[in-house]
Structure 1
């Protein structure tokens, strides 16, 4: 076995600079001098025989191609080292250290509060960092090793992910409570063709809505876009149009208290699965497996209301 000439500390310093984007910010985070940090990064580059960063005066640092390639490996290596330390100390009761979960923005309000509450109760020694974004952005960060797990719809998954299904949902139409179709058991989207479709303007939700319209042989002659689910619902509450959404709060009121109705869509037999994903390209760790098992136990208990 060949012993690497670089150290875990150097990998940790490299990771800090990559995340902070400046030497000064990374040095502050690590509580070391900028000179010591620069020297450590330089030594790592010498040992690996590659340039990891491009230094730009007054503009911080930018990862080179080789630096981006190293990023995921560095995170995996440091995670494995933390696993080893935990095993040696025999700390098997709870998770420890920092873990990151990315969640598709519309799913976050339905899933993350319950997950955080259970996590803090059962793993008080660990830190759980969360971020919400589009499916595409979350997938990219997962493959770069910037998060341990991702929660997203099946249409955002890729072959490079290992996925666990949490539950499924069906698209439904949101109407003002006084709409002429509000009393229908289900709504024909063709009957809304001359009305404004208030679109949730975040991919892939935007493309999915347009695909549903095409599948049912109809169009939206007028469109209005919003990048927030609550803004979409508020616009519908004001009678500005209708919307097609997957998740719905248990209350049928907009932020302003305008009444809404949520109805099944006639002739639409489509289900979307909510998945929890890991990167297939990163080596699994015991800590990662325990985090996955914990999240599955919490998120599969009950399907979100609405």
Structure 2
């Protein structure tokens, strides 16, 4: 290819996304020297500096590099699509699949999804990560992730989403809470207790909307970045929380337990969605992912 090879473009994109040449080498399963030499060759071929490389400080993308980056990603995506077409001729699903998932869902879903996908589609190179809802959506928009999993009520602009499953809200209580053995409850019954939530803006908005639907003004309490911290605080009897869906585990990190009680208020249920950048072309890997998400095992994992 005139102006740089696909391998050089792959190294360039990896260096930008990981922040260092060494991390790009690990991702691309190449030596650091090979990646560094390929980046030099790419810059010479294009006649422009793409990256500023500082020892122990990683890489910074130049203005020219910012212009080249989306083109490089498109070219790599087109090359992957060609590989998909060739593999499809032999009834195979192959290539790289990058999935980002919110931290509220990732412990429930990613281990099982990764295990099933690697067995069913061994030629797929799976890359999974998690983060806040804003993060995973930005990764998808920027082309860093092929798809992201999140709740519909967290969904922003620029993405097309399909519903994976509908999830009902559950109150999270300490295992010895007086209401813990109930099949369901009204949120008004907990209004005098402290509500502990996940701090992220998207998560807090979901809870606020749910409380508004139920006509309840909660006694606002602490907020934490990690959902597991929320669950641990609840397990100690320091308040309650509300989760979308019911995780399978009831034990907090210190061994104390929580109980999940269905919320019976007439509130709009939430949905888990698979979101991709608007206008993204379908491919065999995303089709395989969509089919796996419909499997009973994974549907149960969402709660």
The normalised TM-score by structure 2 is 0.83
The CA deviation string for residues 125-172 of structure 1, in whole angstroms up to 9 with x for no partner, is 332111011111001111111111211111233342222211011222
Q: Which runs of 5+ in 1 are unaligned?
A: none
Count matched residues: 297
Partner of 2:247: 249
Cα distance change, pair 36–266 in 1 and its aligned pair in 2 (3 A): closer
Cα distance change, pair 92–4 in 1 and its aligned pair in 2 (3 A): same
Partner of 2:171: 173
Equivalent residue for 2:300, pick from 267, 291, 304? 304
The normalised TM-score by structure 1 is 0.82
Q: Which runs of 5+ in 2 are unaligned?
A: none
Cα distance change, pair 164–222 in 1 and its aligned pair in 2 (3 A): closer
Matched, 1:289 2:283: yes
Query: CA separation in 2, counterparts of 1:170 and 1:101?
Result: 24
In the TM superposition, 1:269-288 aligns within 5 A as 269-280=267-278, 282=280, 284=281
CA contact (8 A) 1:168 1:274 kept: yes
Cα distance change, pair 236–41 in 1 and its aligned pair in 2 (3 A): same
RMSD, aligned α-carbons: 3.0
Moved more, 162-171 or 31-40: 31-40
Query: CA separation in 2, counterparts of 1:67 and 1:105?
Result: 31
Partner of 1:101: 99
Query: CA separation in 2, counterparts of 1:203 and 1:104?
Result: 13
In the TM superposition, 1:53-202 aligns within 5 A as 53-56=51-54, 59-85=57-83, 87=85, 92-182=90-180, 184-202=182-200
The CA deviation string for residues 210-249 of structure 1, in whole angstroms up to 9 with x for no partner, is 3333443433334122333333222222211111111322
CA contact (8 A) 2:8 2:39 kept: no
